[in-house]
């Protein structure tokens, strides 16, 4: 077990991962049969040519500059042109030859590294995590059996409406507890304010300083607004971790970024929180509620999970060690500090961290492939260290609670047999890999939410129906009456967009790359393919 995730990252896992990454890269080097020193010599020669080319270009620019200056000042123009032009032509020829040789060396360096670059896969990063923390195992894909297990035995709730669509998934188990990283696009209807303007003119009569009546022209720009519904989309990465601990407990807490504040500011924050705890405890007593603040008020205030529904189960989870771990994690500057939301819904725990938003669930090989072995090594080690740290600190709030690391008791409900092979989330991810334009209605002018439904399965090939929910946009105009400085109401036109819901569906097939080898493959993800009939 990881008893102190923060301390053990520093004292053990950071260096262990570095060691495993170096060993892994060395094994690929041995397998590829590349000659590192030969590549270094090629790259050194290539870099020298590039430096030489840069120097020659500077000389050309300098000569051209002085030629222009001398011509502008009309000083010995024929002599200047006669002397500088041949030099410039000679330098340009030298640059052309150097460019050609540099291109040849770059091509040679790429050929030297091709055997190694060809060995990298998008699963290398997660293999290194498994080697570093053996209790973690990642699946090749998110199977329909694991999806059913999470729903039946761990209260995992799938969003079957058209508000969310899975872009990528990464499933696995930690000490036999199922988990799922999900990158999803979330749709919500909000409101947008549109603006319209109109300038009015009028003449007014006034009395000047001499008491004489005069007229003057005045103008005013009138402003009108209308507020209308509009769809909004955002991507979100969530770690869903399933555990039998606290089976009836729900709570939530939000990131506070207290790690960015000074010690004095944190102390003031805790003191204010203690008064809030006292009021909540008094309210619970008066209402015969079971809430009772823990003696560790630092934990209570910093973790701030006061909406918990089961006091006994909350205290069972948050032992003194768990409380200390969580406080250390929230205040630490080693990882990412308090950048995580933690939502527990019975036996499913969801971690939404700011540091993971925008990252990929897999490390693509193009993150570190190169013509230079030394660049490959730097990128491979560096990118994988960043990836490991991001994944580690997504799990850290879970590992802070020792009970969550215990192996589940196998008195769970059995999983029924399914004719379906691949989870609906994997099918959605494959459809999103192709792009929503492939399915969406032709009139679509917005992003689309893709949803998958199972049709049938045969010979390890699932037929799935992908439905795209999107919007057309029609231009509208509202006329708003606005009171002007001339004492009259004026009609101001405000243009706005009306979003008209669209829906379109298309059937596809999903299977492994091996089975789909001779099919019309249109997208790949997680070793799976989506194809037409």
Residues of the chain below pLDDT 70? 55-56, 58-91, 94, 159-160, 410-411
Q: Determine the 3-state secondary structure of 57 from DSSP.
A: helix
User: Computed from CA positions of residues 410, 412, 413, 416, in that sequence, does the dihedral angle turn out positive or negative?
Assistant: negative
pLDDT of residue 228: 98
Contact 220, 484 (CB under 8 A): yes
CA 154, CA 348: separation in Å to the nearest integer? Answer: 6
Q: What is the DSSP letter of 9?
A: I
Computed on alpha carbons and rounded to an integer, the radius of gyration of the chain in Å comes to 33
Give CA angle at 178 (175, 181), nearest 5°: 120
Residues 6+ apart with CB under 8 A from 415: 145, 148, 149, 152
Residue 471 token pair = 């919007």
Q: Is 41 helix (H, G, I), strand (E, B) or coil?
A: helix
495, 194 contact by CB (below 8 A): yes
pLDDT tens digit sequence for 86-97? 666 666 776 777
State the pLDDT at residue 336. 92
Beta bridge partners of 475: 497
CA-CA-CA-CA torsion sign (240, 241, 246, 248):
positive
- Half-sphere exposure of residue 98, counting CA atoms within 13 Å on the CB side? 19
- The label of the residue with tokens 């409380």 reads 323
Q: Are 477 and 494 in contact (CB under 8 A)?
A: yes
Q: Which residues of 170-196 are buried (b: 16+ CB within 10 A; e: fewer)?
A: bbbbbeebbbbbbbbbebeeeeeebeb
DSSP string, 142-157: -BHHHHHHHHHHH---
pLDDT of residue 211: 85
DSSP category for residue 422: B
The reported pLDDT for the residue numbered 81 is: 58
Which residues is 471 bridged to in the sheet?
A: 501
Q: How far apart are CA 134 and CA 132, in angstroms?
A: 6
Residue 70 pLDDT: 56
Q: pTM of the prediction?
A: 0.87
434, 449 in Cβ contact below 8 A?
no
- pLDDT computed for residue 77 by the predictor: 56
How many CB atoms within 10 Å of residue 241? 23
Per residue, what are the HEC states of 231-293?
Answer: EEEEEEEEEEEECCCCCCCEEEECCCCHHHCCHHHHHHHHHHHHHHHHHHHHHHHHCCCCCCC
User: What is the per-residue pLDDT for 84?
Assistant: 62
Q: Beta-carbon neighbour count of residue 140 at 10 Å?
A: 12
């Amino acid at each position: 077990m990881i008893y102190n995730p923060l301390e053990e990252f520093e004292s053990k896992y950071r260096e262990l991962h570095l060691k495993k990454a170096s060993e892994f890269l060395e094994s690929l080097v041995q397998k590829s049969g590349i000659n590192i020193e030969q590549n270094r010599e090629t790259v050194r020669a290539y870099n020298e040519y590039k430096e030489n080319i840069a120097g020659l270009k500077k000389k050309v620019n300098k000569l051209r500059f002085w030629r222009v200056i001398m011509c502008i000042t009309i000083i010995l123009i024929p002599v200047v042109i006669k002397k500088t032009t041949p030099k410039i032509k000679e330098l340009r020829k030298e640059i052309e030859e150097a460019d050609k040789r540099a291109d040849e060396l770059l091509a040679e360096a790429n050929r030297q590294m091709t055997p190694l670059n060809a060995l990298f896969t998008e699963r290398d990063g997660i293999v290194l995590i498994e080697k570093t923390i053996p209790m973690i195992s990642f699946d090749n894909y998110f199977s329909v059996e694991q999806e059913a297990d999470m729903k039946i035995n761990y209260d995992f709730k799938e969003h079957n409406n058209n508000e969310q669509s899975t872009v990528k998934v990464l499933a696995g188990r930690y000490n036999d507890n199922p988990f799922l990283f999900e990158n999803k696009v979330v749709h919500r209807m909000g409101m947008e304010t549109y603006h319209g303007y109109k300038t009015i003119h009028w003449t007014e009569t006034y009395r000047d300083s001499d008491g004489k009546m005069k007229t003057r022209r005045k103008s005013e720009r009138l402003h009108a607004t209308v507020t209308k519904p509009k769809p909004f989309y955002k991507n979100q990465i969530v770690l869903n971790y399933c555990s039998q601990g606290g089976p009836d407990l729900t709570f939530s807490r939000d990131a506070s970024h207290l790690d960015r504040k000074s010690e004095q500011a944190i102390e003031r924050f805790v003191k204010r929180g203690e008064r809030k705890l006292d009021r909540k405890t008094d309210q619970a007593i008066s209402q015969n509620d079971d809430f009772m603040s823990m003696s560790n008020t630092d934990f209570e205030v910093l973790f701030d999970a006061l909406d918990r529904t089961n006091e006994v189960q909350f205290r069972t989870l948050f032992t003194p060690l768990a409380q200390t771990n969580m406080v250390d994690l929230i205040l630490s500057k080693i990882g990412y500090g308090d950048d995580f939301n933690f939502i527990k819904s019975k036996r499913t725990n969801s971690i939404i961290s700011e540091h993971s938003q925008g990252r990929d669930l897999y490390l693509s090989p193009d993150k570190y492939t190169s013509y230079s072995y030394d660049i490959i090594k730097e990128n491979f080690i560096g990118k994988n260290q960043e990836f490991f740290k991001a994944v580690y600190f997504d799990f850290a709030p879970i590992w802070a609670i020792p009970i969550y690391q215990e192996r589940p008791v196998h008195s769970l409900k059995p999983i029924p047999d399914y004719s379906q092979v691949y989870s609906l989330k994997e099918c959605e991810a494959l459809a999103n890999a192709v792009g929503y334009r492939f399915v969406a209605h032709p009139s679509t002018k917005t992003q689309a939410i893709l949803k998958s439904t199972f049709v049938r399965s045969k010979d390890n090939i699932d037929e799935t129906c992908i439905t795209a929910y999107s919007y057309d946009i029609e231009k509208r105009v509202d006329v708003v009456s606005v009171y002007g400085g001339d004492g009259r109401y004026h009609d101001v036109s405000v243009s706005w967009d009306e979003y008209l819901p669209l829906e379109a569906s298309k059937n596809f097939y999903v299977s492994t790359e091996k089975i789909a080898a001779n099919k019309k493959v249109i997208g790949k993800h997680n070793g799976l393919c989506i194809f037409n009939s």
